[in-house]
Structure 1
Amino acid sequence: MNIQGKVALITGASRGIGRAIALELAKQGMQRLILIARDRQKLTEVSQEIAALGVETTIMVLDLTDTVNVNIAIAQLWRNYGPIHLLVNCAGVAHQNSFLQSKIPQLQEELSVNLLGMYTLTNLIARRMASQKQGIIVNVSSLMGKVAAPTMATYSATKFAIVGFTQALRQELAEHNIRVIALLPSLTDTDMTKNLKLFHGVIAMNPEQVAQALVRGIQNNVPEILVGWQSHLAVWCQRLAPWLMEMILHIARPKKSIPHTASV
């Protein structure tokens, strides 16, 4: 599917990777971008940047864990702006902590936003895409969806789950001409990662690189997009020498596990 002249919905669009994806899609000639996040001011700022590129925008302040409001919002969006051709599930939250110091409310928030929120929205959009017999769904996972990271146990678990969810949907929705893609960036320099205690030796990429990789992946019809050489190296190391990957993670892990929270 040629994305030019089409409508895309991006969650977590107020900053970081979501914002970069929205701007990159605007440069690629999308007709309209629907931007969803919880921060109205930042959404408005992104919308103005996109409008300056000549692309129509719609912003919606929405908590993806509020199932009732999400249902209402998607029905309104579809009615007012027609079919959504591309869905990018980028919203997420991360808590960094020693597992022994972790709190149940943090677990619940990560599961609710990263998985249940994504599931609800994807279900609503996919049903409508199936009726129109076309669409692309991009689920933003992480390198941590392939290689789990200590101090990020629940976050890693949700990102692994997103990869499995994506693989299953890819098979199920293919008959409806819907492509389902997993985007797996490594550490990216965003507001979210600024609040995390980083692993030693890991070099952060910028959000624009991730957004450009996504566009290339869509154009090249790939099912999974690993972003950055560090991601490819880590995944191959995990496959061929998992013992070595374990050693590297042990050496690179933050020496002091200080609780941190971040979200997009």
Structure 2
Amino acid sequence: MNIQGKTALITGASRGIGRAIALEFAKQGAQRLLLVARDRQRLAEVAEEVESLGVEVVTLAIDLGQPVAVSIAIAQAWRDHGPIHILVNCAGVAHQAPFLQTRLPQVQEELATNLIGMYTITRLIARRMVAQQEGAIVNVSSLMGKLAAPTMATYSATKFAILGFSQALRGELAAHNVKVVALLPSLTDTDMVRNLQWFRWIVPITPQRVAQALVAGLAKGSNEILVGWQSHLAVWCNRIAPWVMEKILLLAAPLPRNQRKPYPELREAGAISR
């Protein structure tokens, strides 16, 4: 899909990857961008940057966890600003903790934002895209949607779910000329992850690189867009020798040394392979 002349709605647009995608779409000649986030002030700052590139901007300061408010906002935006050609579901949160130390409110927040919020807005816009027989939906998953990692159990679960959701939706909407794409960045240097304990040996990528990979993937017609050589290497390794990749993830995780010992199944798999 060519970005030029299109109208795109981007959630989580006030910072990080969402902000970078908004700026990259503007550089690629998008006609209009609808930017969604909860932080009104940050949205205004991003809108100012986008407008400086000559692109019309509409800001929607809404909480995706409020279905009624989201429904009203989308209906008004579609009525006032015309059809939306591209939806980018980028809003997300991440909490890090060993599973036995996780707190239910944080788990609920991840599920509500990463999954329920995405479902809510996607359902509203997908119906309209089907009616106009045109559109593209981009769901931002993660490398952790392919490889679950210790200390990120719920986050990984939501990102795996986004891949499954995208695959199912792709099959259902293909006949209506609506494309569904999953974007899978690896560790990205954003505000969201700076307070997390990073995994050993992982080199973070920039949000700008993720946005550029998305534009390139849309132009190629890709269904899944992996970002960065580390992502491709990790997925390849997981296909060839999943037990090795699982051991690497365990060793790389920010866990105390006594919790990073390979568990029996991995030791047995290693012995068998030798």
Which of the five TM-score ranges fits, normalised by the shorter chain?
over 0.9
CA apart distance, 1:247: 1.2
1:240 aligns with 2:240: yes
CA apart distance, 1:17: 0.3
Aligned residues of 2:18 and 2:90 also touching (Cα < 8 A)? yes
CA apart distance, 1:164: 0.3
Residue 179 of structure 1 corresponds to which residue in structure 2? 179
CA apart distance, 1:250: 1.4
Residue 224 of structure 2 corresponds to which residue in structure 1? 224
Residue 3 of structure 2 corresponds to which residue in structure 1? 3
> Amino acid of the residue matched to residue 253 of structure 1?
A
- Considering only aligned residues, what root-mean-square deviation do their CA atoms show, in Å? 1.0
**What does 1:30-49 correspond to in 2, within 5 Å?**
30-49=30-49
CA apart distance, 1:151: 0.2
> Amino acid of the residue matched to residue 199 of structure 2?
F
Residue 153 of structure 2 corresponds to which residue in structure 1? 153
Query: 1:217-252 CA deviation, whole Å, 9 max, x = no partner?
Result: 000001000000010011111111011001101111
Q: Please report the TM-score for the alignment, with normalisation by the length of structure 1.
A: 0.96
Which structure is larger by alpha-carbon Rg, 1 or 2?
2
Residue 260 of structure 1 corresponds to which residue in structure 2? none
Query: 1:122-159 CA deviation, whole Å, 9 max, x = no partner?
Result: 00000000000000000000000000010000000000
1:121 aligns with 2:121: yes
Q: 1:153 to 1:134 in 2, by over 3 A?
A: same
Q: Counting strand residues as a fraction of each chain, which structure ranks higher? A: 1
The number of aligned residues is 257
The separation in 2 between residues aligned to 1:84 and 1:244, in whole angstroms, is 44
Greater RCO (Cα-Cα under 8 Å, separation 6 or more):
1
Residue 60 of structure 1 corresponds to which residue in structure 2? 60
Residue 84 of structure 2 corresponds to which residue in structure 1? 84
CA apart distance, 1:107: 1.2
SS at match of 2:87: strand
Residue 21 of structure 1 corresponds to which residue in structure 2? 21
CA apart distance, 1:255: 2.8
The separation in 2 between residues aligned to 1:105 and 1:50, in whole angstroms, is 35
The separation in 1 between residues aligned to 2:215 and 2:110, in whole angstroms, is 27
> Amino acid of the residue matched to residue 40 of structure 1?
R
Residue 250 of structure 1 corresponds to which residue in structure 2? 250
Residue 271 of structure 2 corresponds to which residue in structure 1? none
The separation in 2 between residues aligned to 1:105 and 1:66, in whole angstroms, is 17
CA apart distance, 1:103: 1.2
The separation in 2 between residues aligned to 1:19 and 1:225, in whole angstroms, is 18
- How much identity, in percent, do the aligned residues show? 68
Residue 140 of structure 2 corresponds to which residue in structure 1? 140
> Amino acid of the residue matched to residue 17 of structure 2?
I
The separation in 2 between residues aligned to 1:138 and 1:155, in whole angstroms, is 18
CA apart distance, 1:256: 4.6
Q: Which runs of 5+ in 2 are unaligned?
A: 258-274
Tell me which stretches of 4 or more aligned residues in structure 1 moved more than 4 Å. Answer: none
SS at match of 1:53: coil
Residue 261 of structure 1 corresponds to which residue in structure 2? none
The separation in 1 between residues aligned to 2:193 and 2:2, in whole angstroms, is 33
